Amino acid sequence: MLIPEPVYNIEKSYDDNYRDGPVFHGRIPASMPSTRPVSFLGITANSRLGIPAGPLLNSDWIGFYATMGFDLLVYKTVRTHAHPSYPPPNCLYVSVSGDLTPTSLSTPLIGTPRMEPASMRDITITNSFGMPSQAPAVWQEDVSRARKKIGPGQVLIVSVVGTEREGESIAENFARAAKMAKESGAQAVEVNFSCPNVKGTEGQIFQDPETAGKVAKTVRRELGPDYPLIVKVGYIGSDAEADRLLREIGPHINAIAAINTLSATVINPEGRPALPGPGRERSGVCGNAIRKAALEVVSRLSGRISSMKIPLSVIGVGGLMTVEDYDLFLASGADFAMTATGAMWDPYLAFHQKQQNLR
Ligand SMILES: Cc1cc2nc3c(=O)[nH]c(=O)nc-3n(C[C@H](O)[C@H](O)[C@H](O)COP(=O)(O)O)c2cc1C
């Protein structure tokens, strides 16, 4: 086997990984290759490479990946209330040949807990957690701890999600979560709009521009005019769809992060649901096979943003598995790039990207 085990143990539960991870038996680089500082939404950062909401479950994970040279670190999505994770498995390998598109995903994929990937190109997974969150008292204290664990030129972003609660609209709940994250020491907040839309139309919030706009406006009001605010979206298949969304959210935010996973039905080799239980009929596919779809969305968003003359940065996410993929994201119009699956299997990715940058 050429690729070592991931630092996130996919055979264990979210709680196990929260408590015991990251598990890493390699060597921590003694020092990072020097880089030219960049501005990340007004904050000085060592590089344009980071990790999106996902593998960074808490301050131990943030601290580890900061040490490995990832400079833009997104704390996994949290809520205004405690919420349990789906039981394990939460991640499975999926066998895919070639690139996935939303259309090709109408046929089920086969998921398995074990595989011996020979290269980063073999790693496509599905993840299904149900957006767990510790209670605010726990995550807020931990976010403050995470802030102390990062170094100069590293940025701590906290991803939040809102739901409709008793006496509170979805926008108000998002805003309250964002405020809690800011108060705990987050330097930027990301609102996760690639989550199910509990209000109005079917689908996810980013597919409902009117709700997305209302939420973004309410969160902006809560955070104040100068605080960095990012919106995370899923696959956007047309310029018209991008324009409608950008028109509504653009005036309120500083950056758009794309994409979240592509949604698929995943079955086991016997043909039964690979992730049993309600709400898991479909799950998110990430890693190598979604890069083409991610690059397409990045290129679309960056093109539409410049035509519409909105001052928004684009954060490219999805299938970034190697240093070459990082270059592809920047060439497609991303201002910054992030890797979740890639960083889980190759924690040296940022170090290698920085080494390459020196040449
Ligand atoms: C283990 C894992 C957990 C994730 N959890 C979240 C999450 O809590 N919030 C979120 O917005 N995205 C989450 N994601 C999606 C990632 O942020 C990212 O959009 C997606 O995985 C595509 O990037 P990748 O191909 O580099 O993995 C998660 C991804 C993984 C692999």
pLDDT in tens, 174-197: 999 999 999 999 999 999 999 876
- Say whether pTM exceeds 0.85: yes
Distance CA 66, CA 320 (A): 18
> Tell me: the pLDDT tens digits for 61-82?
999 999 999 999 999 999 999 9
On whether residue 276 sits in a domain, the answer given is no
> Tell me: the pLDDT tens digits for 307-344?
999 999 999 999 999 999 999 999 999 999 999 999 99
Ligand 1 centre and the CA of 268: distance in Å?
Answer: 22
Ligand 1 centre and the CA of 133: distance in Å?
Answer: 15
CB of 258 within 8 A of CB of 297? yes
Q: Which amino acid is at 116?
A: E
Q: Which atom of ligand 1 is nearest to the CA of 342?
A: 26
CA-closest residue to ligand 1 atom 4: 54
pLDDT mean over 28-36 = 94
Please confirm, yes or no, whether 195 is among the known catalytic residues.
Answer: yes
53 ligand 1 Cβ < 6 A: yes
187 ligand 1 Cβ < 6 A: no
On whether residue 180 sits in a domain, the answer given is yes
Q: Indicate the number of domains in the chain.
A: 1
Helix, coil or strand: residue 125: strand
> Tell me: the pLDDT tens digits for 144-162?
999 999 999 999 999 999 9
Q: Is the pLDDT of residue 1 over 60?
A: no
Q: Which amino acid is at 165?
A: R
On whether residue 323 sits in a domain, the answer given is yes
On whether residue 273 sits in a domain, the answer given is no
What CATH number does the domain containing 251 carry?
Answer: 3.20.20.70
Catalytic hit among 195, 236, 264, 328: 195
On whether residue 65 sits in a domain, the answer given is yes
On whether residue 13 sits in a domain, the answer given is no
The distance of Cα 146 from the centroid of its chain, to the nearest Å, equals 17
CA-closest residue to ligand 1 atom 3: 54
Ligand 1 centre and the CA of 52: distance in Å?
Answer: 6
Ligand 1 centre and the CA of 160: distance in Å?
Answer: 13
Q: Which atom of ligand 1 is nearest to the CA of 76?
A: 8
Q: Is the pLDDT of residue 249 over 80?
A: yes
127 ligand 1 Cβ < 6 A: yes
Task: Give me the helix-helix angle, 239-249 and 209-223, nearest 10°.
Answer: 30
On whether residue 345 sits in a domain, the answer given is yes
pLDDT mean over 287-304 = 98
The contacts found for 221-226 with CB under 8 angstroms, 24 or more apart, are 221/175, 222/175, 222/176, 222/178, 222/179, 223/175, 223/178, 223/179, 223/182, 223/189, 226/42
Q: Which atom of ligand 1 is nearest to the CA of 195?
A: 11
CA-closest residue to ligand 1 atom 28: 54
On whether residue 327 sits in a domain, the answer given is yes
Ligand 1 centre and the CA of 141: distance in Å?
Answer: 23
Q: Among candidates 71, 72, 111, which has minimal Cα distance to 93?
A: 111
CA-closest residue to ligand 1 atom 21: 286
Q: Which atom of ligand 1 is nearest to the CA of 286?
A: 25
- Identify the domain containing residue 50 by its residue range: 36-81+134-265+290-358
